[in-house]
Amino acid sequence: MAKVTTLVAVAALALTFDVRATDPLPTWNDTAPKKVIVAFVEKVTKEGSPDFVKPGERIATFDNDGTLRAEKPIYFQFQFAIDRVKALAPRHPEWKQQPPFNYILAGDMKALLAHEKSMMALMALSHAGMTTDDFNKIVKDWLHTAKHPKTGRLYTQMVYQPMLELLAYLRANGFKTFIVSGGGVEFMRCFAEQTYGIPPQQVVGSSSKMKYEIRDGKPVLLRLPEVQFVDDKQGKPIGIEVFIGRRPIAAFGNSDGDQQMLEWTMGGSGAHFVFIVRHDDAEREWAYDRKSDVGRLDKAWDEAVAKGWTVVSMKDDWKTIFPK
């Protein structure tokens, strides 16, 4: 009997260990959001369930800034653009008088942020006039060296561990995971695959106009200083329609820029699920919502409350914010 008991005990231990080892969302607290996510994934993947969705139709879209990674004190691509302007300034003496460049060169962040529209223009201008290959090289160099002003981490390390787990969990359940972000599509592709496991063709974002030409017998694509498409607010469902061509069954955002993507997802005919990440953890990350210049969460929050969409509290629902 002693032997049998031992075996049972070992088996029980192994089982416990196994359950813990295979918890797909280990840095999520056992609060409501985790339960709702798991219940949703289980019902859409269970054959025979009335909510079953075929693998090819399990499309999940993620906003990037503020949803998959931090966005404070300013969007990271905005910081990249600022660093580019500073690097290029010696060749552009006229920028000292020209908004928004003059704000950057004078270090006046408040004036710069007050002109929200200048951000797209700034990014288009500072990223233009070079080939796509050169641009990718500059971005990758920056990603390997620039450090976040508050944490001292590389920007690629400012991602949310619980969201990395969610990405992996969905993919393990036959979902295709996409980024759908207002950020520049080519900028994001410089880190999306390595950081999130999301390949280039599953990154939807804003884009510049481009020009194709032959230089020294080799074809190149040149970035032009004009915006082709803005993948934000109502641009998100449009970007989803044009790039993906299928309505997501799950979508995740954190700000008013995601509101239309979440509405579009909730308007689908089959099972669907969305949540909003709420930045309410001033200690471990940042706390901001209705009045923030960056990542404002105001109208989308009201809609989430009115319609009962899940709101994830970084403070209460996540054990960890950043990867170790």
Residues near its own copies (CB under 8 A) are 56, 59, 132, 176, 178, 185-186, 189, 193, 199-203, 207, 210-212, 214, 218-219, 221, 228-229, 234, 237-238, 241-246, 260, 263-264, 267
The β-bridge partners of 245 are none
Using the minimum distance from each CB to its own copies, give the nearer residue, 127 or 189: 189
Contacts 24+ apart (CB under 8 A), 33-41: 33/275, 33/310, 33/312, 33/317, 34/317, 36/273, 36/275, 36/310, 37/166, 37/169, 37/273, 37/275, 40/250, 40/271, 40/273, 41/169, 41/170, 41/173
Alpha-carbon gap, residue 257 to 120, rounded angstroms: 14
Using the minimum distance from each CB to its own copies, give the nearer residue, 76 or 178: 178
Residue in 273, 277, 271 with CA at minimum distance from that of residue 317: 277
Using the minimum distance from each CB to its own copies, give the nearer residue, 70 or 203: 203
Helices (H), 22-160: 32-45, 76-88, 101-105, 109-114, 116-126, 132-145
Q: Which residue has the tokens 């004009």?
A: 226
Using the minimum distance from each CB to its own copies, give the nearer residue, 275 or 318: 275
Q: How far apart are CB 56 and its own copies at their closest, in Å?
A: 6
Q: How far apart are CB 176 and its own copies at their closest, in Å?
A: 7
Using the minimum distance from each CB to its own copies, give the nearer residue, 149 or 200: 200
Q: How far apart are CB 215 and its own copies at their closest, in Å?
A: 10
Q: How far apart are CB 180 and its own copies at their closest, in Å?
A: 12
What tokens were used for 111?
A: 């004036």
Using the minimum distance from each CB to its own copies, give the nearer residue, 27 or 260: 260
Q: How far apart are CB 243 and its own copies at their closest, in Å?
A: 6
Q: How far apart are CB 178 and its own copies at their closest, in Å?
A: 8
Q: How far apart are CB 213 and its own copies at their closest, in Å?
A: 8
Amino acid at 194: Q
Using the minimum distance from each CB to its own copies, give the nearer residue, 199 or 270: 199
Question: What would you report as the CA-atom Rg of the chain, rounded to the nearest whole angstrom?
Answer: 22
Counts for the chain of helices (H) and strands (E), in that order: 14, 7
For 91, 95, 96, the CA distances from 102, given in Å and listed in that order, are 14, 6, 5
